[in-house]
Amino acid sequence: MARMTLSYNDLRIRISNFLGLTSTGVAPTADSTDETLVNGIIDRGLRQFLYPIDMQTGQPHEWEFLKTYWGFTTVSGQWKYALPIDFSDVYSTLYFDTSSANPPLEKRSAEQILDMRTGGSISGSPEYFAITPLRYDIEIGTLYELWVYPTPSQTETLSGFYRADPVQLSATTDLVIGGIRAIEAILESCLAVAETQEEDNTSTHHQQEAQKLIQILIKFDSVTRSDKIGNLYIDKARIWPKPRGYFTYPNLDDNVYP
């Protein structure tokens, strides 16, 4: 049974047809200038789709389908840990596993972690964490590192969610990210780039359609967030001696760090 999906080749055909590079239903010729042009437009369209602004709040929207679970085990005496190569940004705080009664870690800046370590580091169960760039790799991009404080004094399991950077589409059969409900928004985002880049804005139809579909998709995406289906930690003050707030995407109008 056929699925309602959108492949990389489907996108290439639609963009190529829109620009009049090929006849209906035909993809650009392999290794041609037209193919390079079309592939570049698709890359730009996907990037613009992946990092939208919620026009209702004026804040960046984090797609739920980019949220990736990650867990790791601390090593006694080690306070720096490599993050996955597709790491883009932290999506949640870090939590201890069920065998620990420790509360979630609080996010701090890398400078604050270094300041805490000034004069000698203490050991124990981590209470704070920071995300900092490690280095730039010409083939991978920017690599990130996780710092914790205090320095772990024993092996403990921590986990949380991060936002993953999707890999670039390459094979003609590769499917676009986001599932069926994201297909139209992605297609229009790519057509919008073609419209602005190659058609000199002679029309803004696809730009307007892309914005509309992205905002609709944001509403669908938002209902899957955990705070829409109940907050399991609403009574955390009764359990933890020191209630801790949740880490959210940086507030552009305020400082998220205490």
Tens digits of residue pLDDT in 96-148: 998 888 999 999 999 999 999 997 778 999 999 999 999 998 888 899 999 99
Q: How many Å apart are CA 22 and CA 14, to the nearest integer?
A: 10
Q: How many Å apart are CA 80 and CA 90, to the nearest integer?
A: 16
Does residue 227 surpass a pLDDT of 70?
A: no
| Amino acid identity for residue 65 in this structure | F
pLDDT for the residue numbered 224: 65
Structure tokens given for 132: 């900092």
Segments making up each domain of the chain, as ranges: 8-60+178-222, 65-165
Structure tokens given for 76: 């006694």
Whether the Cβ atoms of residue 178 and residue 63 lie closer than 8 Å to each other: yes
| Amino acid identity for residue 67 in this structure | K
The mean pLDDT value of the chain amounts to 86
DSSP annotation string for the chain? ------BHHHHHHHHHHHTTSS-TT-PPPTTSHHHHHHHHHHHHHHHHHHS-EETTTTEE---GGGEEEEEEE--TT--EEEPPTTEEEE-S--EE-TT--PPPPEE--HHHHHHHHTT---EES--EEEEEEEEEETTTEEEEEEEEESEESS--EEEEEEEEPPPPP-STTPBPTT-GGGHHHHHHHHHHHHHHHTSTTS--HHHHHHHHHHHHHHHHHHTTSGGGS--TTTTHHHHSSS------SPPTTS----
Whether the Cβ atoms of residue 227 and residue 245 lie closer than 8 Å to each other: no
pLDDT for the residue numbered 119: 78
Rg (CA), the chain: 22
pTM exceeding the 0.85 threshold for the entire prediction: no
pLDDT for the residue numbered 202: 76
Does residue 209 surpass a pLDDT of 50?
A: yes
Does residue 237 surpass a pLDDT of 50?
A: no
pLDDT in tens, 145-196: 999 999 999 999 999 999 999 989 999 999 999 989 999 999 999 999 999 9
CA distances from 170 to 94, 140, 184 (A): 34, 16, 20
- With pLDDT > 90 as the criterion, what percentage of the chain qualifies? 69
CA distances from 93 to 71, 90, 131, 185 (A): 12, 8, 11, 30
Structure tokens given for 4: 């309602």
